[in-house]
Amino acid sequence: MRVLIVEDEKLAADRLEKLIRRLEPRAEVAGRAASVKAACHWLEEHGAPDLAFLDIQLGDGLSFEIFEHCPLQFPVIFTTAFDAYALRAFKLNSIHYLLKPIEEEELGAALQKYHQIRGTVRQPFSDSRVQQEQSIFPEPVTYERLRQQLTQQYKQRFLIRLGEQLHTVQVDDVLYFWNEEKVTFLTTTAGKRYLVDYSLNQLEELLDSALFFRINRQVMLRVEAIKNIVAYSGSRLKVVLQHAEDKEALVSRERVNEFKAWLDA
């Protein structure tokens, strides 16, 4: 496993490399860079690593900018001092993130997640494997996309019509959305069910994906909605929902790995 470390603090880079060597004896720290410019130069010369650790704030800019100059795709683990709120965006574009100072246990969990994802594509190299890897690993990181996600304002509430009256339901009070025959309903923490004028496709754009996950064509949920998860045939998962024990909510086969990663975020 070829690893690239992009970190502008030498002591932090030294510590990270030491921890990597301790946890991954067979890993090769193939390169270190202390700036966006140096990282781009390394990538141009050596190509994509198997895994990169990127400090977000570098002396000459943000590490996101590396992907503006070097359109390579490779797994990323961010290292940062950003707060948890800002890190919601990073979850969409990386395997994991590590808050400084980096602890050995946290690094071990990040590496384990990398191997769990990578393990699904360990087979002889081929074009089909490339396509499979690209579908399993996160989408290419772009500075513009992350900037938009960090500043994006997500929907806060829904307007509900009850007869002649109008009411609002806060997003924090929503457990899940269920689509039936092209009609979408939301269910609240109190177990109440209301009709909403949005499709699940629209809701995916309006709601924070760190909080809501679409498990199939019919259901989008938040983690608090889950009463239980059980194994189902064909490597699928069945989710038992609060206030809907009689309904069958199956995670689509192609979304199982992503769903597990979302639960573990």
CA of residue 201 relative to chain centroid, distance: 18
Say if residue 123's pLDDT is above 60: no
Among all chains, which residue has been given the structure tokens 């009256």?
165
Average pLDDT over residues 184-211: 93
Q: Work out the average pLDDT over 142-156.
A: 60
Fold category of 2-150 in CATH:
Rossmann fold (3.40.50)
The answer to whether the CB of 1 falls within 8 A of the CB of 27 is yes
The pLDDT-based confidence of 198 (bands split at 50, 70, 90) is very high
Instruction: Give the distance, in angstroms, between the CA of residue 174 and the centroid of all CA atoms in the same chain.
Output: 21
* Joined tokens for residue 237: 């998962």
State the span(s) of the chain assigned CATH 3.40.50.2300: 2-150
DSSP summary character for residue 173: G
Helix (H) or strand (E) holding 203: helix 200-206
Q: Which has the closest alpha carbon to 58: 40, 83, 85, 43?
A: 40
Residue 146 belongs to what H/E stretch? helix 143-151
Instruction: Confirm if 94 and 76 have CB atoms less than 8 A apart.
Output: yes
One-letter identity of residue 229: I
Dist. CA 99–CA 159, nearest whole Å: 38
Instruction: Give which of 67, 16, 65, 10 is closest to 33, Cα–Cα.
Output: 10
What is the pLDDT of the chain when averaged over all its residues? 83
Report the amino acid identity of residue 183: V
pLDDT at 218 exceeding the cut of 60: yes
Fill in the amino acid letter for 114: Y
For residue 81, with 0-12 CB atoms within 10 Å meaning exposed, 13-18 middle and 19 or more buried, which class applies? exposed
Q: How far is CA 65 from CA 38, 41, 116, 159, 190, in A?
A: 12, 13, 28, 39, 45
What's the pLDDT score for residue 119? 66
**% of the chain at pLDDT higher than 90:** 51
Distance, CA of 233 to CA of 250 (rounded, Å): 10
Mean local confidence (pLDDT), 77-99: 66
H and E: helices and strands count for the chain: 9, 17
State the pLDDT confidence band at 191, using cuts at 50, 70 and 90. very high
Best mean pLDDT range from 89-93, 101-105, 132-136: 101-105
Mean pLDDT of the region 72-84: 78
List, for residues 157-189, the tens digit of each pLDDT value: 999 999 889 999 999 999 999 999 889 999 999
From the candidate CATH numbers 2.40.50.140, 3.40.50.300, 2.40.50.1020, 3.10.400.10, the one assigned to the domain spanning 157-263: 2.40.50.1020
* The pLDDT value given to residue 115: 85
Instruction: Give me the pLDDT at residue 134, please.
Output: 42
d(CA 18, CA 24): 10
Type and span of the H or E element at 19: helix 10-23
